[in-house]
Structures are given as structure tokens and as C-alpha cells.
Amino acid sequence: MVKKNFSEIPIAIAKISPYIRFVGVIGSSGELLSYYRRSDLKPLLNAKNTHYQFSHIAIKTDLEAFFDKSLGEVEFVWEERKKVQTISFAIKKIRIWISIDKKVVRSEVLRIIDSCLPIVKLYS
């Protein structure tokens, strides 16, 4: 089996839209394997809360696996929050977590999702 270079994923996804704030490749234990952060922004989460967020993603990934046989594997999850929108994509036990500016119209978020799917599929 060829080892995938996950460092290429954030760069490829960041090129999709100028509204993408952050792209992280999150490992099965919640570790940040690779990332891109838009340079002109201050992070919304401090280091401790970032660690908790990534751990939460890893735990959710494990829990979602219980339903894969019945419902099928998760392709993506889109979350709208007060300050940011997030999308996460599954590549086996790894998650690609993307944050997007809050004020972006939904059609742009859908375009980002549609553009990410082939990238995710390439690494699946």
C-alpha cells in the first residue's frame, strides 16, 4: 500500500476559495497531521480549545463508524455556527476539517463542498 501524503490536501483545498479560513487533516487520535491557515486571520480557537476540537472530531469519527453498516459511511458534515461554518470530510479514520467565513452565501459553501469531494476521493 502506498503511503498517502496528507500534506498536499490542505494546499489543494485552500486553492478552492478565498473564503476558506483553515484546513486541517485530523488523525484518528485527534492529532493535527497537516494544515493550512489563511495568513490574514486570527484563529477563533486558542491552542487548548483547538486540541479539544480535534479530539472531539476523532471521538465523533469513532462513534459514527457504528452506523456505517446501516447508513453508509459519512461523506461530509456541514455545520453552521454563529462565527464560522465548518465542513468535515471522511477519509477512513482521518477527517479533513475546513472552516469557512461565516458571511459566505450557501451556494459558495456548496461549491466548496463539490470541489472538495474529488480531492477527498483521490486520497480515499
Query: Does residue 2 have a pLDDT over 50?
Result: no
Query: Does residue 50 have a pLDDT over 90?
Result: no
H or E element: which one contains 123?
helix 106-123
Could you say which DSSP state residue 25 is in?
E
Predicted confidence at residue 61, as pLDDT, reads 75
Spatial neighbors of 60 by CB under 8 A, at least 6 apart, are: none
Domain annotation for the chain: domains and CATH numbers = 8-123 (3.30.450.30)
Average pLDDT of the chain to the nearest whole number: 87
Predicted confidence at residue 88, as pLDDT, reads 92
What pLDDT, in 10s, does the model give residues 61-115?
A: 777 777 888 888 888 989 999 999 999 998 888 899 999 999 999 999 999 999 9
Rounded to the nearest 5°, which phi and psi values hold at 46?
-75, 175
C-beta separation of 123 from 40 below 8 A: no
Predicted confidence at residue 4, as pLDDT, reads 63
Is the pTM for the entire model greater than 0.75? yes
**Rounded average pLDDT over 39-52:** 79
Predicted confidence at residue 84, as pLDDT, reads 93
C-beta separation of 75 from 89 below 8 A: yes
Which pairs with CB-CB distance under 8 Å and at least 24 residues apart come from 56-61?
56/30, 57/26, 57/30, 57/88, 57/95, 57/97, 58/26, 58/27, 58/28, 58/29, 58/30, 58/95, 59/30, 61/28, 61/90, 61/93, 61/95
Predicted confidence at residue 58, as pLDDT, reads 78
Predicted confidence at residue 106, as pLDDT, reads 92
